[in-house]
Amino acid sequence: GENVEQHPSTLSVQEGDSAVIKCTYSDSASNYFPWYKQELGKRPQLIIDIRSNVGEKKDQRIAVTLNKTAKHFSLHITETQPEDSAVYFCAASSTGNQFYFGTGTSLTVIP
Amino acid sequence: DVKVTQSSRYLVKRTGEKVFLECVQDMDHENMFWYRQDPGLGLRLIYFSYDVKMKEKGDIPEGYSVSREKKERFSLILESASTNQTSMYLCASSLHGVETQYFGPGTRLLVL
């Protein structure tokens, strides 16, 4: 089955700096890669996703890049703000039903 | 706005008890999922269902069963709770053919 690895497990950045979280996957059949944000005590929520036919996608301060050859994808957050502090999960899917999640990155933005 | 609800936010049970966790979604989603979330392990899929009375095993189905008698409701059953099932349980749903999953608030289960 698919194996998704996520790094780093914790990340601290100064407000205004950029944050990058990286994930690798093993199954070349995976074609959909969402990112979820989970604030403390709240449910995970989708923040951005990318499909395998696209190399990069951007939504305001958030961007995701995908390198199919190397089987890795990354989340980039620019101009970080304290409200970006949360746990971020990457995931991969080849079926659109079964998702394999990374182990999560706890991001802290220091004011 | 999609709403996924779970029957309890916190639950304390004793070893050997039968435990029912319920999840309800109000958006007519075909797909429903049960995950457990543990520190350092992320979200792991226990079971999912893509239609009423249908179920598929996920990565860690041992010790669990599920029931989907109605489209909007997906139940996770711990037949005989054990301490290693202490965890946060998250339910999710999605529309068939659309990958976005909507999560419930989670149930934090403590098995003593």
Per-chain mean pLDDT for chain A: 94
Mean pLDDT of B56-63: 94
pLDDT tens, A94-108?
877 788 999 999 999
pLDDT at B29: 92
Please state, in angstroms and rounded to a whole number, the distance separating the CA atoms of residues B77 and B4. Answer: 18
Instruction: Assess B44–A contact: CB distance below 8 Å, yes or no.
Output: yes
Identify the CA nearest to A3 among candidates B103, B90, B99, B41.
Answer: B41
- State how far residue A97 is from chain B, nearest Cα, in angstroms: 7
Q: Which residues lie closer than 8 Å to B39 by C-beta, 6 or more apart?
A: none
Confidence of residue B82 (pLDDT cuts 50, 70, 90): very high
Please state, in angstroms and rounded to a whole number, the distance separating the CA atoms of residues A79 and A108. Answer: 13
Q: Which residues of A touch B50 (CB under 8 A)?
A: 97
Pull the structure tokens for residue B81. Answer: 């709770």
CB contact under 8 A, B45 and A1: no
* Residues constituting chain B: 112
Please state, in angstroms and rounded to a whole number, the distance separating the CA atoms of residues B71 and A55. Answer: 36
